[in-house]
Amino acid sequence: MVLKMYLEYLGHVVRMAASKAEALAEAAARPCDVLLVDIGLSDGNGWEVLQQARFIHPSYAIAMSGRGLAADREKSIKAGFRNHLQKPFDVDLLHDMLQEAMRETAPDAVAEPHSVPSLA
């Protein structure tokens, strides 16, 4: 919930899903530009979400995980994720990834300078 509030503070529209099933249903119902998904879900994993969802979008997907082994990062990239954030992560790093996603998904949009608040 804190991450959702933080992303909304930055101006993003955020939809949440608590499980793989909810994420797949949400993906089928409405497209998204960026997918930020936790690898560890109660009924599967984030790798499966990205592989099983019928996305027209996102063209930019970010995995989040408490697992940071090279094999985990490699699995995320092979599954189609652009980045793999190891939790706990630096919010500045997430902000940079979201800025990159915005440049790629909406290249004509003008990103306004934005200070990144601390979650501490």
**Confidence class of residue 76 from pLDDT cuts 50, 70 and 90?**
very high
Domain span at residue 32 reads: 2-104
23-75: per-residue pLDDT in tens?
999 888 888 888 999 999 999 999 999 989 876 656 789 999 998 899 999 99
pLDDT surpasses 70 at 119: no
**Structure token pair of residue 85:** 């954030």
Residue 97: which CATH number? 3.40.50.2300
- Is residue 119 included in any domain, yes or no? no
Q: How many domains does the chain have?
A: 1
Task: Establish if 73 belongs to a structural domain.
Answer: yes
Confidence class of residue 120 from pLDDT cuts 50, 70 and 90?
very low
Range 81-93 average pLDDT: 93
In three state form, how does the secondary structure of the chain look? CHHHHHHHHCCCCCCCCCCHHHHHHHHHHCCCCEEEEECEECCEEHHHHHHHCCCCCCCEEEEEECCCCHHHHHHHHHHCCCEEEECCCCHHHHHHHHHHHHHHHCCCCCCCCCCCCCCC
